[in-house]
Amino acid sequence: MTIQKIHELFLTCTKVSIDTRKIEHNSFFVAIKGERFDANTFAKEALEKGASYVVIDNSDYYMDDRTILVEDSLTALQELAQFHRNYLKLPIIALTGSNGKTTTKELINVVLSKKYNTVATVGNLNNHIGVPLTLLSFTSSTEIGIVEMGANHQKEIEFLCEIAQPDYGYITNFGKAHLEGFGGVEGVIKGKSEMYAYLKANQKSVFVNLDDEIQNVKTIDFNRITFSQKDMNAAVFIENVSANPFVKIKTSGIEINSHLIGLYNANNINAAITIGNYFEVPLNDIKDAIESYIPENNRSQLLTKGSNEIILDAYNANPSSMKVALENFIQLDKVNKMVVIGDMYELGEESLAEHKAIVDFLNKNGSFECHFVGKDFFANAVQKSNFHFYPSFEDFTLYLRATKPEHKTILIKGSRGMALERVLDYI
């Protein structure tokens, strides 16, 4: 069956799904093999739960004309998404970067939705499966699509751009994330810049932070829409930025007070302002959108637990995001501060050096309680410091139960695998 014919069947359905637990009536189910399961085995269940069609790549599970047999289900999903993107012909904004992708995506979405019917990547469904699912969530009523793209190896962003074919792109930053897969910082820059290569080759536009020297140089001959805190000739000039603890921004005489913590979130807000301005969203509407945005999902959340004030930034961590979070925490005008830091993953040969760098940074700049959790990397990095170290989360909970922190300002940050949001249960 051709992709065009599959697409015709897809259009008769209300949503696409790859998980039988989330099947709804008139769903379009695609059976994708995982490392530990073969979704072909769930095709019958999907139909029984209300799916109108199922895509499979194993003829053993063919049932009737509601079953679409393809050579490879994942490839079919990706080709269907690309076909659907071309069918709709709507403008698409793609973004990637080492840190701040999801927050920036959410901000862009709330800003543009003030004027347009927008659909954006849900959560962090930003890989070779998530991007196609995002594209297939767009409908004829969608006016602007916003697609987050993640990667931890070379050529991934290039591949995702070929599927999504964005009209606009934005890279949040180049940082020390996924060093193992990319092959160091230079590899990160090369890998993320695959978005720039696609946009330039196809004569598309980029949104650029002129204050980021690398990105400024890389896009000098691009069709670009710019913002800056230094260059008054930028399309959007940011007059002032402050944070204590929430980020406050002033542009064109309008002050915007966000619910985002830390100066490291300023450029995420600035990008959303710039994109909103480009798409002619009134500045007062942009202000309302940003001021109404409340972070969640363990990303820069300010919470209160008993007498403690918590900065929960435990969704993920890498050396770049860890350092800016700590820098922000150090400058906060608070007393009785405490940090809980977990191991950072996917750093390859740089792991020990990067974990030691964080310890050294806190030795020089931290004058508060520091607790490190993780058997893999901080176990070696913390040995010669005066900080507290716990090989496992369970060991740390023993400390929390015994001391019961009170009247503290606490930063919690670590890689996703550490799941340090669990600390909240013991405070």
Q: Are 284 and 315 contained in the same domain? A: no
The residue among 259, 292, 325 that closes a domain is 292
Q: Are 135 and 260 contained in the same domain? A: yes
Which strand ranges, in their side-by-side order, compose the sheet holding 388-390? 301-305, 308-312, 409-413, 337-342, 369-373, 388-390
CATH, residue 259 = 3.40.1190.10
Q: Are 395 and 323 contained in the same domain? A: yes
pLDDT per residue as tens digits for the range 62-94: 999 999 999 999 999 999 999 999 999 999 999
User: What is the count of structural domains for the chain?
Assistant: 3
Q: Are 154 and 269 contained in the same domain? A: yes
3-state DSSP assignment of residue 364? helix
| CA–CA gap between residue 240 and residue 232 (Å, rounded) | 12
Is the overall model pTM greater than 0.95, yes or no?
A: no
Q: Are 261 and 123 contained in the same domain? A: yes
Q: Are 336 and 281 contained in the same domain? A: no
Q: Are 120 and 262 contained in the same domain? A: yes
Give the DSSP letter of residue 107.
H
CATH, residue 47 = 3.40.1390.10
Pull the structure tokens for residue 14: 């209300």
Residue 80 within a domain: no
Q: HSE on the CB side for 301, CA within 13 Å? A: 15
What is the domain extent for residue 46?
A: 3-71
Q: Is the pLDDT of residue 108 over 80?
A: yes
User: Which residue is associated with the tokens 């949104």?
Assistant: 207
Give the DSSP letter of residue 33.
B
| CA–CA gap between residue 370 and residue 353 (Å, rounded) | 19
Q: Are 209 and 106 contained in the same domain? A: yes
What is the predicted pLDDT for the residue at 386?
64
Which residue from 261, 263, 273 is spatially nearest to 235, judged by alpha carbons? 273
| CA–CA gap between residue 263 and residue 323 (Å, rounded) | 12
Torsion sign (Cα): 46, 48, 53, 55: positive
| CA–CA gap between residue 210 and residue 230 (Å, rounded) | 8
From 70-79, 224-233, 378-387, 417-426, the region with the lowest mean pLDDT: 378-387
Q: Are 22 and 53 contained in the same domain? A: yes
Q: Are 142 and 243 contained in the same domain? A: yes
Q: Are 102 and 215 contained in the same domain? A: yes
3-state DSSP assignment of residue 342? strand
CATH, residue 393 = 3.90.190.20
Q: Are 341 and 406 contained in the same domain? A: yes
Q: Is the pLDDT of residue 385 over 70?
A: no
| Region of residue 310 (phi > 0: left; psi between -120 and 50: alpha; otherwise: beta) | beta
Residue 77 within a domain: no
Which residue from 148, 97, 101 is spatially nearest to 122, judged by alpha carbons? 148
Which residue from 277, 268, 15, 29 is spatially nearest to 122, judged by alpha carbons? 15
Bigger pLDDT: 161 or 404?
161
Q: Mean pLDDT across the chain, nearest whole number?
A: 92
